[in-house]
Amino acid sequence: MKTKAQYKVRNWNAYDAALKQRGSISFWVNEETIEQWHNQQKTGTKGASNYYSDTAIATMRTIQSVFHLPGRQAEGFLESLFMLMGIELAVPAHSTLSRRLSKLSVKLPVVPKDQAVHVVVDSTGVKVYGEGEWKVRTHGVGKRRMWRKLHLGCDQDSGEILGAVVTTNDMADCEVLPDILEQIEQPIEQVSGDGGYDTFDCYDIIASRGAIATIPPRSNAQIQQPSNSELPPHPRDENLRRIHQIGRQQWKQESRYHRRSLSETAMFQLKCIFGGKLRRRFFDNQAVELFLQCAALNRMIQLGKPDSYKVED
């Protein structure tokens, strides 16, 4: 019987310190955040200017997600924190947070790299409302269930989320890939995705970025462009020819397709840390809620990651 591979962490002390830092209040509410809490200038448009900056709104929503606090409790949490710090800062009301959230622009914090990145893409469902696991197991699935779909493009090396798109649950993965790649400013070496991205449009958009498409074709896929054609070979046909030569499993090993599972790791982290359920009622607010969670996860990853190695028998 084949035993499961065992791994050990080389940098346990540094990784342990990084995990502790994720729960530090001073990490999420630092001096820079406090300095930017209020808007210093008027907007120049009709009506009252926003008293709280976008930084204040984003920080309060991030605190909610990280520490799993409802709106009013998050408001009281920050008020008591500022009181203990001796800082005279007002805290946005939970209604102000809801009103401002939909217009918030979120930029994912990413450590820049000199070399091109290998992007792994996938999607997952995030529950808006619906029954819990116990009710479904006991009585089956009810009618009132709603999900949003979170599409991610991750750096397979660092694990950071480079691009994120939120859609309704009826949107296909292949339709969203252009929007994910558009968010990635760094050069792209390779894009790996599952069979949901097996369309010519996906191959073409990846090729337009000068990257290699590692997408397993369907089992009944046919070569569309013959080898004696005057046109240059299409990347999908090239993948099919290679699979016919060496087999599908060997092709996955050769093309590093299995690195795609790291996108599922990012989704697992998001759901474990933030709960995998949305609090907001409206779609725009839900999208920003998920983008802020992605940004918070990137900041956690940048604190430190485990450096593991396989234990040989």
Pick 211 or 229 by higher pLDDT: 211
pLDDT of residue 130: 58
Q: Which of 30-44, 83-97, 184-198, 269-283 has the lowest mean pLDDT?
A: 30-44
The answer on 163 and 259 residing in a single domain is yes
Considering the domain boundaries, does residue 147 fall inside one? yes
Same domain for 123 and 260, yes or no, is yes
Question: Does 87 share its domain with 122?
Answer: no
Assess whether 233 and 151 both reside in one domain.
yes
Q: Which range marks the domain in which residue 88 is found? A: 10-105
Phi, psi angles (nearest 5°) of residue 195: -65, -15
Question: Could you give the residue ranges of the DSSP H alpha helices within 36-192?
Answer: 54-67, 71-85, 94-101, 133-139, 173-182
- Mean pLDDT (the chain, rounded): 88
| pLDDT (0 to 100) of residue 129 | 67
pLDDT band at 230 (very low <50, low <70, confident <90, very high): confident
**Contact (CB, 8 A) for 128 and 285:** no
93 or 140: which leads in pLDDT: 93
Residue 160 lies in a domain: yes
Q: Within a domain: residue 271?
A: no
Same domain, 161 and 196: yes
291 pLDDT exceeds 90? yes
pLDDT category of residue 214 using cuts at 50, 70 and 90: very high
Rounded to whole angstroms, how far apart are CA atoms 106 and 265? 22
Where does the pLDDT of residue 221 fall: very low under 50, low under 70, confident under 90, or very high at 90 and above?
Answer: confident
Could you tell me which residues come within 8 angstroms of residue 31 by beta carbon, excluding any fewer than 6 positions away? none
What pLDDT sits at residue 308? 81
Q: Do 212 and 75 share a domain, yes or no?
A: no
129 by DSSP, 3-state: which?
strand
pLDDT digits (tens, 9 = 90+) for 74-105: 999 999 999 998 988 899 998 999 999 989 99
Q: In whole angstroms, how far apart are CA 70 and each of 33, 65, 66, 83, 95?
A: 21, 9, 11, 20, 12
Partners of 124 in the beta sheet?
A: 150
Q: What's the domain count of the chain?
A: 2
**Residue after which a domain boundary falls, among 51, 77, 105:** 105
Pairing of strands 117-129, 146-155: antiparallel
Q: Give the closest residue to 175 by CA, choosing from 121, 255, 134, 131.
A: 121
| Residue 29 within a domain | yes
Per the domain annotation, does 178 fall within a domain? yes
Does residue 280 lie in a domain region?
no
Q: Are residues 195 and 218 in the same domain?
A: yes
Does residue 279 carry a pLDDT above 90? no
Residue whose tokens read 């991030």 = 62
Supply φ then ψ for residue 146, to 5 degrees.
-140, 140
Compute how many other C-beta atoms are within 10 angstroms of the C-beta atom of residue 215. 25
The CA angle 241-242-247, to the nearest 5 degrees, is: 110
Shared domain for 61 and 129, answered yes or no, is no
Closest CA to 96 of 65, 75, 68: 75
Helix (H) / strand (E) element for 185: namely none
* Domain co-membership, 84 together with 122: no
Choice between 65 and 144, residue whose per-residue pLDDT is larger: 65
Token digits of residue 49: 């200017």
The answer to whether residues 182 and 257 belong to one domain is yes
In a domain, 291, yes or no: no
pLDDT digits (tens, 9 = 90+) for 43-69: 555 545 578 999 999 999 999 999 999
Q: Clarify whether residues 220 and 247 are in a common domain.
A: yes
**Of the given ranges (10-14, 138-142, 270-274), which has the lowest mean pLDDT?**
138-142
167 token code pair:
């859609």
In a domain, 279, yes or no: no
> Looking at residue 163, which CATH number applies to its domain?
3.30.420
Alpha helices by DSSP H, listed for 183-304, are 200-208, 235-246, 248-254, 261-274, 283-303
- As a whole number, mean pLDDT of residues 101-111 equals 92
* 152 band by pLDDT with thresholds 50, 70 and 90: very high
Q: Which of 151, 149, 157, 145 is nearest to 181 (CA)?
A: 151
Regarding whether 144 and 246 lie in a shared domain, the answer is yes
The values of phi and psi at residue 123, to 5°, are -140, 160
Say if residue 296's pLDDT is above 90.
yes
pLDDT above 70 (res 243)? yes
Both tokens of residue 169?
């649950």
Q: What is the pLDDT of residue 179?
A: 96
pLDDT of residue 55: 93
The pLDDT of 24-45, averaged and rounded, is 81
The Cα–Cα gap between 273 and 242 comes to 40
Among 73, 105, 137, the domain boundary falls at: 105
How long, in residues, is the chain?
Answer: 313
Q: What is the mean pLDDT of residues 226-252?
A: 85
